[in-house]
Chains A and B, each alone.
Chain A
Amino acid sequence: MKGSKFHRNFIASHLQGIPKSGIRDFFDIVSTRKDIISLSIGEPDFVTPWHIREASIFALDRGATAYTANLGLLELRLLLSKYITKSFHVEYDPTSEVLVTVGVSEAMDLAIRAITEPGDEIIYHEPCFVSYAPVIIMAHGKPVPVITKREDSFKLKPDMLKKKITNRTKAIILNFPNNPTGAVLERKDVEDIADIVIKNDLLVITDEIYSELTYEGERVCIASLPGMRERTIFLNGFSKTWAMTGFRVGFACAPAPLTDAMMKIHQYIMMCAPILSQKAAIEALKNGDSDIIEMCSEYRKRRNFICSSLNDMGLPCHIPKGAFYAFPYIGDYGMTSKDFSLKLLDKENVACVPGTAFGQSGEGFLRCSYATNMDDIKEAIIRIARFVKLLKKG
Chain B
Amino acid sequence: MSFIEVKQISKTFRVAKKKSGLKEAFKSFLKREYLDIKAVDDISFSIEKGEIVGYIGPNGAGKSTTIKILSGILNPDSGECKIAGMTPWKERVKYVKKIGVVFGQKSQLWWDIPAEDTFDLLRDIYEIPEEEYLSTKNDLIEKLNLKDIINIPVRQLSLGQRMRCEIAASLLHSPEILFLDEPTIGLDAVSKQLVRDFIKKLNKEKQTTIILTTHDMSDITTLAKRIILIGKGKVLYDGSLKKLKNMYETETYISIKTKDSLNIKKKGIISKKKNKEGYDLVINTKLISISELLTVLSHRISIEDIEILEEPIDKMIVRLYEDYQI
Are A and B interaction partners? Answer: no
> Which A positions have Cβ atoms within 8 angstroms of B?
none
> Which B positions have Cβ atoms within 8 angstroms of A?
none
